[in-house]
Structure 1
Amino acid sequence: MKISITKVAGTLGMLAWGVSVQASDLTLEGVLNDYYEAKGGLEVIRGIKTMHAKGKMSMGGMEVPLEISAKRPGKVHVAFEVQGMKGIQAFDGEKGWSVMPFMGKPDPEEMADDQLKQIQEQADMDGVLVDYEKKGHNVELIGTSEIEGTPVIELKVTKKGGDVMTYFLDEEYKLEVMVRAQTTMMGQEMITESYTSGYEEIGDTVVPMQTTVKMNGTVGQNLVFESVEFNTDIDDALFSMPAKAEKPEAATADK
């Protein structure tokens, strides 16, 4: 079942909105509670132990198949295929690693610095707004505004490490329309905007089936999920970095 928040760019702006929410009536606790309830409630959110999704990612003129698996606590495995070669980015709860054969790196390698930070954030199945205080983040209610004609509520998140994110929640449905993140990558400031749409009910929660990512204002990638499953069995071994394959010994002249 699709929810009517499906198209970010303009569709919501054409809906017949009810009484507009006044900024003075909003409280951080109230907005967050509505956000949790829109996703099924905290019990449902915390009850999701695993997630498995399949889809396609478009970037740089290419469309590649994508498969994402996540498992508590803090494990994620992202697999994609480029020109017949399988790439992997993963985090096992302690260590991040990747395999990038199309970049001349066919063996698994440990991640560090910016790459490691990104994969750790992906491994948080709940997102920064759930249990944000325990995670060391700070959340502020900014007020109301619009994103491409859609009335939204702005929440500013200052993460434990200092990075800043702004969540733009649909004023009526209290689900993300866009998330803006300010980070430092390779010594440079980067602004990433993730536009989420195509929300569908899956079990007792809702999931955005499409995400368009802009980096410093330019579209970087578009992700469309074809299927999402929760609480299926996922072996922990999937997230562990495999040993490097032993290279065969050179043939001897006698053979």
Structure 2
Amino acid sequence: MMKTTFFSILTMVCILFTNVTGSTQTADEIINKYLQALGGQEKLKTIQTVVMEGSLSVQGFELPIKLSSVHNKGVRQDFSLNGMNGYSIITPTAGWNFNPFQGQTKPEPVTADDINEGINQLDIQSPFIDYAAKGHAIELLEKEDIEGTECHKIRFTYKNGKEEFCFFDPSTFYLVRQKSKSKANGQEIELVSDLSGYSPNEQGYVFPMTIGSAMGTITMKSVKVNTAIAESLFTVDK
């Protein structure tokens, strides 16, 4: 469960689109408005590290979590329960899980599928910035009702073929829902994440502070950008 939760959390954190429906706005216009709502492309391009701290409410438990990310180099999630500490790590070439709650006594390498699932989230500036140059593709689909609001719907296809469907509020242009498919224990599952509580941190970078899914709700208490993170955080003792 924790492994699936980790990749759903990673999946909760990015996405966007192309093409035109019957609306007067193009996909690129919607992208630009979304990025502007987060602080603007130039500001987002200055992000090199992000440290997010909060809690995950899941199956009656409240787990403190910490997400540490270095742009295009690594993402690590640390979590605690009943005095035990676990973590998951993804880098461009490797990854590990350590989940003592399920009896693990040492970190275990993740599969190639796991790396393929998580690697897209290493672009913490936003995969929507210069998406075509990065090899991604976008498609604007028909609007869809999300909690009573007709939202812009975008299909975002990563360079590695993974697809995500993103839904944007027409007034704020924030990303409010994200759908994708993931593999867990050899089976394909659909992940649906609802993002809300967008708020600027002290440096003016805007992040969703609440992310809900069928597996639980993440509530972020703090988000720090461009603080020092040692790259050794993304390695494990052999």
Query: Which TM class, normalised by the smaller chain length?
Result: 0.7 to 0.9
Q: Number of aligned pairs?
A: 217
List gaps (5 residues or longer) in structure 2: 1-20
Aligned partners of 1:220, 1:109: CA distance in 2, in Å?
A: 23
Structure 1 letter corresponding to 2:55: K
Q: Once the two structures are superposed, what CA deviation does each residue of 1:32-91 show, in whole Å capped at 9, x if it has no partner? A: 111111111111111111101110001122111001110122311110012211111012
Q: 1:190 to 1:239 in 2, by over 3 A?
A: same
Which runs of 4 or more aligned residues in structure 1 lie more than 4 Å from their structure 2 counterparts after TM superposition?
Answer: none
Structure 1 letter corresponding to 2:140: L
SS of the equivalent of 2:33 reads: helix
1:199 aligns with 198
For the aligned residues, what is the CA RMSD? Answer: 1.8
SS of the equivalent of 2:173 reads: coil
- Residue 58 (str. 1) matches residue 53 (str. 2): no
Q: Confirm or deny: 8 A CA contact 1:74 1:120 kept in the other structure.
A: no
1:43 aligns with 42
Aligned partners of 2:117, 2:236: CA distance in 1, in Å?
A: 17
Aligned partners of 2:71, 2:162: CA distance in 1, in Å?
A: 24
Equivalent position to 2:227, from 228, 232, 252: 232
Post-superposition offset of 1:191: 1.1
Structure 2 letter corresponding to 1:61: G
Structure 2 letter corresponding to 1:199: Y
Q: Which one has the largest radius of gyration?
A: 1
2:120 aligns with 121
2:129 aligns with 130
140-149 or 179-188, larger mean C-alpha shift? 179-188
TM-score by length of 1: 0.79
Q: Confirm or deny: 8 A CA contact 1:51 1:228 kept in the other structure.
A: yes
Q: Confirm or deny: 8 A CA contact 2:117 2:182 kept in the other structure.
A: no
SS of the equivalent of 2:211 reads: strand
- Residue 156 (str. 1) matches residue 151 (str. 2): no
What does 1:174-193 align with in structure 2 at a 5 Å threshold? 174-193=173-192
Q: Confirm or deny: 8 A CA contact 1:77 1:239 kept in the other structure.
A: yes
2:96 aligns with 97
Structure 2 letter corresponding to 1:212: G
TM-score by length of 2: 0.84
Structure 2 letter corresponding to 1:210: T
Q: 1:186 to 1:128 in 2, by over 3 A?
A: farther
Q: Confirm or deny: 8 A CA contact 2:92 2:115 kept in the other structure.
A: no
Q: Percent identity?
A: 30
Post-superposition offset of 1:151: 2.8
2:32 aligns with 33
List gaps (5 residues or longer) in structure 1: 1-21, 214-218, 244-255
Aligned partners of 1:164, 1:75: CA distance in 2, in Å?
A: 21
1:11 aligns with none
Aligned partners of 1:200, 1:237: CA distance in 2, in Å?
A: 30
Post-superposition offset of 1:170: 0.6
Post-superposition offset of 1:132: 2.4
